[in-house]
Amino acid sequence: MILDVKDIEVYYNNVILAIEDINISIEQGQIVSLLGANGAGKSTCLKAISGLLEVEKGRVTRGEIYFEGKRVDQLGAIERVKSGICLVAEGRQLLKTLTVEENLKVGSLIRKDSASVIKDDLERMYTYFPILKQRAKQVSETLSGGEQQMLVIARTIMMRPKLLLLDEPSLGLAPLIAAAVISEIHRINQELGTTILLVEQNAALALPISNKAYIITNGRVALCSTPEEMKKIDLRDYYLGRKRAAI
Ligand SMILES: Nc1ncnc2c1ncn2[C@@H]1O[C@H](COP(=O)(O)OP(=O)(O)OP(=O)(O)O)[C@@H](O)[C@H]1O
Ligand SMILES: [Mg+2]
C-alpha cells in the first residue's frame, strides 16, 4: 500500500466538520478515483493528504495518514512534497508571468537529477501535451483554460511525484479536451508508474482509467468498488446519500 488514509476526521476553523470519517487505500501504480457531489469533501481529502489544510485553517482532528508505510499527517506540506506527494489543486495555479517552458522548469527545481535527465523529461511533457511545445515561449497567463490545465499537470509531473493528487483536472474544459487530458493522465500512469488519486465530478471520464473508485457523500465513503461493479449500479443513489454500502 503506497497510501493509507485511516479514519480521518477534518474540521475547518474548529467548527465546520468537512470530513466525518474517511478511509482510502491505494496500491503502488494504481489510479484511484474520488467521486461525489459538490461539498462532499473530495478536495478536503486531497488537502489533508498533501498537508495543505493548514493554509485554510483546516485540521485533521482524528485518524492517521500513512505514505509508503510512514505516518505523514503531522508533517508539513513541503516535507510531504519532498517525500513524493504532489497536489494539482482546483483552479490553475501557474506562475502567470512566466512562459510555458519556465513553468515546466520550475517544476523540476526540487529534483537532484542532472540537466540532461531534466531536459529529457521536458521533451516527454511535450509528447504528452504537444500544444505546450507550440506555446513554449508564450507567457502562461495568455494560454486557454485547457492549455493552462495541461501545463499545471505537466509542471507537477516535472516534480516526478510518487503520488499525484489531481483535483478535477477536467473542470471547465470542452468535452473533447477533457477526454484528452484524462487519457494523457492514464498514459503518464502507465509509462512513468506514477500512482494517482484523481478527484472527478465526471464519473464517466474517470472510471474507465481507474483501478478502484470511492464515492464520497457528506464527508464519508458511501461506496468503494471497482469500475466494473460501478457500471452495473445507479450511482446517483450513492451520490445523493440515499444509499451507503457497508464498508
Ligand atoms: N476553507 C474552508 N473553510 C471552511 N469550510 C470549508 C473550506 N473548504 C471547504 N469547506 C467546507 O467543507 C465541505 C467539503 O468541501 P470540499 O471542498 O472538500 O468539497 P468537494 O467535494 O471538493 O466539493 P466540489 O465538488 O464542489 O469541489 C463543504 O461543506 C465546504 O463548504
Ligand atoms: Mg472540490
Answer yes or no: is the C-beta of 39 below 6 A from any ligand 1 atom. Answer: yes
Domain boundaries, the chain: 1-84+163-168+195-247
Is 172 or 4 the better-scoring residue by pLDDT? 4
Pick the CATH number of 1-84+163-168+195-247 from 3.30.930.10, 3.40.50.300, 3.30.200.20, 3.40.190.10: 3.40.50.300
Choice among 23-32, 49-58, 83-92, 219-228 with the minimum mean pLDDT: 83-92
Instruction: Look at residue 194 in the predicted model and tell me its pLDDT.
Output: 98
Distance CA 74, CA 71 (A): 8
For 180-197, the pLDDT digits (tens) are 999 999 999 999 999 999
For 91-128, the pLDDT digits (tens) are 778 889 999 999 999 999 988 999 999 999 999 999 99
pTM of the model: 0.96
Q: How many residues does the chain have?
A: 247
Question: 478536503: which residue's cell?
Answer: 44
Distance CA 155, CA 192 (A): 15
Question: 466525518: which residue's cell?
Answer: 20
Answer yes or no: is the C-beta of 36 below 6 A from any ligand 1 atom. Answer: yes
For residue 36, report the distance from its CA to the centre of ligand 2, in Å.
9
Residue 224: which of 242, 211, 208, 240 has the closest Cα? 211
